[in-house]
């Protein structure tokens, strides 16, 4: 191998993530609490925060939240958390 030969000749790949798709707004306050609680659990376990100053709903006059619960609530409010509502499980009759 010559001194001037490049080690890796593969083309450069842009690994920067694109914008996340927005979740549909949550109308039910109970669903909002459930989704925010699950997201707060993820944040407490080390997940990265999805809030940024470039968001369209960012209010520069409002201080940024610090607690995982508040961060999760703000992420859900801005539609940054994807969620899926699963159908209820089918009940299996018991032979009582």
Tell me which residue of 70, 84, 88, 89 sits closest to 35, measured CA to CA: 84
Residue 91 lies in a domain: no
Residue 22 lies in a domain: no
Q: What is the spatial distance between Cα 83 and Cα 39, in angstroms, rounded to a whole number?
A: 10
Residue 6's pLDDT is 52
Residue 20 lies in a domain: no
Residue 23 near residue 82, CB atoms below 8 Å: yes
Residue 49 lies in a domain: yes
pLDDT digits (tens, 9 = 90+) for 17-76: 566 678 888 999 999 999 999 999 999 999 999 988 666 666 677 777 789 999 999 999
Residue 18 lies in a domain: no
Range of the structural domain that residue 39 is part of:
29-77
Residue 59 lies in a domain: yes
Answering whether pTM is above 0.85, one says no
Residue 15 lies in a domain: no
Residue 10 lies in a domain: no
Domain count, the chain: 1
């Amino acid at each position: 191998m010559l001194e001037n030969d490049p080690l890796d000749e593969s083309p450069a790949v842009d690994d920067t993530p694109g914008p996340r798709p927005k979740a549909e707004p949550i109308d039910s306050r109970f669903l909002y609490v459930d989704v925010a609680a699950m997201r707060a659990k993820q944040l407490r376990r080390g997940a990265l925060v999805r809030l940024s100053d470039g968001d369209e709903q960012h209010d520069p006059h409002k201080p940024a939240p610090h607690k995982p619960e508040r961060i999760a609530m703000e992420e859900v409010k801005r539609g940054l958390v994807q969620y899926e509502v699963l159908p209820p499980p089918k009940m299996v009759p018991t032979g009582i």
